Structure 1
Amino acid sequence: MSENTVIQSVLLDDENSTLVILDQTLLPNEKLFLRLTSQNQIWEAIYSLRVRGAPAIGIAAGFGAYLGTKESKAETYEALYEDFKKVKEYLASSRPTAVNLFWALDRMETRFKKEEGKTVEEVKKALKEEAENIRKEDETICKTIGENSLSLLKDGMGILTHCNAGTIATAKYGTALAPIYLGKERGINFKVYADETRPLLQGARLTAWELNEAGVDVTLICDNMASIVMKEGKINAVLVGCDRVALNGDTANKIGTSGVAILAKHYGIPFYVHAPLSTIDLKCSTGNDIHIELRPDEEITTKWYEKPMAPEGVKTYNPCFDVTDNSLITAIITEKGIAYPPYNESLPKLFK
């Protein structure tokens, strides 16, 4: 993948106190970078999925926490900390399921506390450094996840992916798409089938777009076509990302992921979850403990249509995520290695 195909979707323009993000809600028709200067704008961007993907959300949260604190007029460490906590609490309310959001904000708070006794300007400088570290580390993490995943794949394989876990969802490379990009750099080519991923069409609008931009062999399919392409022998592995991993290996990912996992199990196809350690929540025992965010009705009934495609006033149920049972997951691929069942034993070992 050439450098000009690698899009950085979250950047800091510190000189202008601005968070620059690629507005993913406008893709594939328009590539627009937004310049966000207020906490309300950053909160809305995370909530409305203008910035999305677990790692990218964490990066945006880190920069958002820094910029919000940078605006503070506090003159003492203690007063600045009170302002920081308000910023953290506000940003944390934007996406209740995304563990990277809380992970990044907690990390920023930890760094803040380490600077106790220093001047206000020194603390602000430290927060900027920490936010930049989150971004740089994510780029390294994604590449390592890609290396580990690539070790399980072979040239020419058919790959099915759901939602978007690519370069625009991270600092660079992506998680589930990292082996695709690394493989292309090395002359290893895959045939990728991208689920459209209703109702927000992240597969159609984002995954198909970025892979096509990078010159990857990608075919777009509707979500309900996954079974037939598996049955026809076109799929050799399923690669997905995730937003949260429980201690027992249950994983929360974009709605529809669990259905793909059930199909893969039926057809004997390996199902690989790509998860940075920051998405693994050892305090969360099982998937039953993961809060599932409900999204607005219009995402199903009107969002993509010139005219409503459902009866006016009809009840809707629009969960943003579902939980894939650990029994359906072949392996969980992280930057620290590949975890296999039983996950309640293998996942904690990754942290040692």
Structure 2
Amino acid sequence: MEHDTVRALHWTGETLVLLDQRRLPHEIQYKECASAADVADAIQTMIVRGAPAIGIAAAYGAALAVRQHADPAKREAELQYLAQARPTAANLHWALQRMRAKLANGADAETMAAEACRVHAEDVRANHYMGQLGMGYFTVKGAVLTHCNTGSLATGGYGTALGVIRAAYAAGRVSCVYVDETRPWLQGARLTAWELQQEGIPVRLLVDAAAAALLRLESVRWVVVGADRVAANGDVANKIGTYGLALAAKAQGIGFMVVAPGSTLDFATVDGDAIRVEQRDPDEVLAFGGQLLAPAGVTAWNPVFDITPAELVDVLVTERGAVERPNRERMAALRA
């Protein structure tokens, strides 16, 4: 069975069609984006999410801006709007820089669209390569734990961390995938569990607070996660809850793997303390499905990411290669 059937983005030649991930797993609905503003709104409202998918969507958004506006000032306003949609995601800014470079060289709308398609195709190829590279670390068959969603829904296809898990399962090296529910948006429960179920990969869901107990009691061999930004020293910004998983894995002697494409590596950011962590609407924590959960008047702290120090990462897998126990020197070698 081919464990790679889900796609979240589709370019029609004139518009970008996005699978609305807020409605999964119970409803499959698509959002058609005909402008850069449509794409920016889809990113901000999490119709599309996951760092690589955000970058790909932004590339298509830049192409739409050029298609829609002959006035350079209007194009620039659209690109600025795209850039502010999710400030922590390095891939978003990487993609826009790449598209700006094309535009600066006089690219027309057709050339810009072709470049966005290349960004998309390159991501899928990189994911397959990272899957094979990361799978090499799975020397003993066992269970894995993952957090949030890092599969086809979060990328151009196949996935980063989930791509490694897909490859390892196909090779007979994974017995079961444990998935954190990932509060407050439940990307693990709604998206990762759905993806794995679609492709016949055994999956068990757990609440975020149960992860440490799972690592202590069950035969989990690896914790495998993605990243939204990796600093020059190897510190990792990822979905809130990742830092706690890294601490628990270290305490139990379990491997902790981060899988991220080169577009997520931010060598201009010195370390994790310099990464801007996005704060989202407190209502995401205080309510669910429109139903208030907390007492009226209570406020909430709702960072969407946390920072995992490099010393807690056993291996960082990218399409440029794998770095064991990343630090500033090893990251510099990876950059070279």
TM-score normalized by the length of structure 1: 0.92
Structure 1 residues 186 and 233 mapped into 2: Cα distance closer, same or farther (>3 Å)? closer
Q: Which amino acid aligns with 1:336?
A: R
1:197-235 CA-partner distances (Å, limit 9, x unpaired): 111111100111101111001100000111111111321
Give the CA deviation at 1:298: 1.4
Partner of 2:97: 106
1:282 equivalent among 264, 267, 272: 267
Is structure 2 residue 204 aligned with structure 1 residue 219?
Answer: yes
Partner of 2:156: 171
Structure 1 unpaired stretches of 5+: 116-121
Q: Which amino acid aligns with 2:257?
A: Y
Give the CA deviation at 1:303: 2.4
Partner of 2:55: 58
Q: Which moved more, 1:293-302 or 1:250-259?
A: 293-302
1:12-42 CA-partner distances (Å, limit 9, x unpaired): 112xx31100100001111112112233322
Partner of 2:293: 309
1:295 equivalent among 280, 290, 304: 280
Kept in 2, the 8 Å contact 1:196–1:221? The answer is yes
Partner of 1:129: 114
Partner of 2:147: 162
1:92 equivalent among 59, 83, 86: 83
Q: How does 1:8-47 map to 2 (within 5 A)?
A: 8-14=7-13, 17-47=14-44
Is structure 2 residue 255 aligned with structure 1 residue 264?
Answer: no
Q: State the alpha-carbon separation in 1 of the partners of residues 25 and 325 from structure 2.
A: 38
Q: State the alpha-carbon separation in 1 of the partners of residues 200 and 44 from structure 2.
A: 31
1:113-159 CA-partner distances (Å, limit 9, x unpaired): 223xxxxxx62221111101100000011111111100001363110
2:24 is paired with a residue of what secondary structure? coil
Give the CA deviation at 1:189: 3.7
Give the CA deviation at 1:163: 0.6
Kept in 2, the 8 Å contact 1:155–1:190? The answer is no
Is structure 2 residue 319 aligned with structure 1 residue 335?
Answer: yes
Kept in 2, the 8 Å contact 1:292–1:321? The answer is yes
1:177 is paired with a residue of what secondary structure? helix
1:226-256 CA-partner distances (Å, limit 9, x unpaired): 1111111321110000000001111000001
Is structure 2 residue 142 aligned with structure 1 residue 142?
Answer: no
**RMSD over aligned Cα atoms:** 1.5
Structure 2 unpaired stretches of 5+: none
Q: State the alpha-carbon separation in 2 of the partners of residues 270 and 220 from structure 1.
A: 20
Q: State the alpha-carbon separation in 2 of the partners of residues 182 and 172 from structure 1.
A: 13
Q: Which moved more, 1:176-185 or 1:229-238?
A: 176-185
Give the CA deviation at 1:342: 4.6
TM-score normalized by the length of structure 2: 0.96
Give the CA deviation at 1:107: 0.3
1:88-108 CA-partner distances (Å, limit 9, x unpaired): 111001101011000000000
Kept in 2, the 8 Å contact 1:112–1:126? The answer is no
Kept in 2, the 8 Å contact 1:180–1:190? The answer is no
Kept in 2, the 8 Å contact 1:54–1:99? The answer is yes
Give the CA deviation at 1:260: 0.6
Q: Which amino acid aligns with 1:71?
A: Q
Partner of 1:118: none
Q: State the alpha-carbon separation in 1 of the partners of residues 2 and 324 from structure 2.
A: 33
Which protein is bigger by CA-based radius of gyration?
1
Kept in 2, the 8 Å contact 1:139–1:173? The answer is yes
Is structure 2 residue 181 aligned with structure 1 residue 199?
Answer: no
How many percent of aligned residue pairs carry the same amino acid? Answer: 40
Q: Which moved more, 1:318-327 or 1:155-164?
A: 155-164
Kept in 1, the 8 Å contact 2:315–2:325? The answer is yes
Q: Which moved more, 1:296-305 or 1:211-220?
A: 296-305
Q: State the alpha-carbon separation in 2 of the partners of residues 143 and 269 from structure 1.
A: 24
Q: State the alpha-carbon separation in 1 of the partners of residues 193 and 139 from structure 2.
A: 21
Kept in 2, the 8 Å contact 1:156–1:191? The answer is no
Q: Which amino acid aligns with 1:317?
A: W
1:199 is paired with a residue of what secondary structure? coil
Q: Which amino acid aligns with 1:124?
A: A
Partner of 1:2: 2
Q: Which amino acid aligns with 1:258?
A: Y
Q: Which amino acid aligns with 1:55?
A: P
